[in-house]
Amino acid sequence: MIDKVVASAAEAVKDIPDGASLAVGGFGLCGIPVALIDALHQQGTRDLETVSNNCGVDDWGLGILLKDGRIRRTISSYVGENKEFARQYLAGELEVVLTPQGTLAEKLRAGGAGIPAFYTAAGVGTQVSEGGLPQKYDAGGNVALASSPKEVRTFNGADYVLEESLTPDFGLVHAWKGDRHGNLVFHATAMNFNPLCAMAGKVTIAEVEELVEPGELDPEHIHVPGIFVQRVVLAPDGEKRIEKRTVALQAGAGA
């Protein structure tokens, strides 16, 4: 078996070119590949297309690439919590393809499974299927690019819209544990979109908090087999942020 470990995050992403498409794991700020994103930012790579549930926040995750104008197009299901994202979108600097969350997950899963397209009920009867969703504005605030209508078919009396799968050039994911063969284990909700992005990427790079030797992971507990992963890098000391903190009031305290 091939030892897929590389020495650093910088080495792991060094061949990602300008204009590449990236499937990036994470949900909000949970389970995002911070070390790989930082290395890509330091490398200066630009003109990127990202496929991710969301695009980070203003100063963290994909938000640091966005802030410096490195992302030209994003396919996402949630775009809140990021003022710079909204500014770029409305100013015509960023193309945004809004996609229902379950549909986005299946686009990645199906892509990784070799399925080119599928039918889903999500979005039928809306602009998702009928077209007209603004994807890019011009400098004057007019819609410069809108989504196109999609094929709709009826199965057993219900309508379904055809969605094409996604197979980005690279997948960037964060795992709790990984071995030298690329087998990955995720921790709790940090699993989120990571397995799907790992499957969909043509070249998948995994940062892991703990690197173990082959055979140390219980085969029954492996979430992504190494066949989907081309590179592994140890990133043990990454900061983990909380997107929103909520503090409970003490009993008897006023609102």
Q: What is the pLDDT of residues 142-196, one digit of tens each?
A: 999 999 999 999 999 999 999 999 999 999 999 999 999 999 999 999 999 999 9
Helix, strand, or coil here: 187?
A: coil
Pick from 80, 150, 148: nearest CA to 122: 150
Percent of the chain at pLDDT > 90 equals 87
What residue segments make up the domains of the chain, in order of their start?
Answer: 1-116+165-255
What distance separates the 2 farthest-apart alpha carbons in the chain?
A: 62
Q: Tell the CATH topology of 1-116+165-255.
A: Glutaconate Coenzyme A-transferase (3.40.1080)
Grouping H, G, I as helix, E, B as strand and the rest as coil, residue 179 is strand
Distance of CA 4 to the CA centre of its chain: 22
As a whole number of angstroms, the distance between CA 74 and CA 143 comes to 17
d(Cα 36, Cα 56) in Å, to the nearest integer?
14
Say which residue the tokens 């930082």 belong to.
38
Q: For 204-227, what is each residue's pLDDT tens digit?
A: 999 999 999 999 999 999 999 999
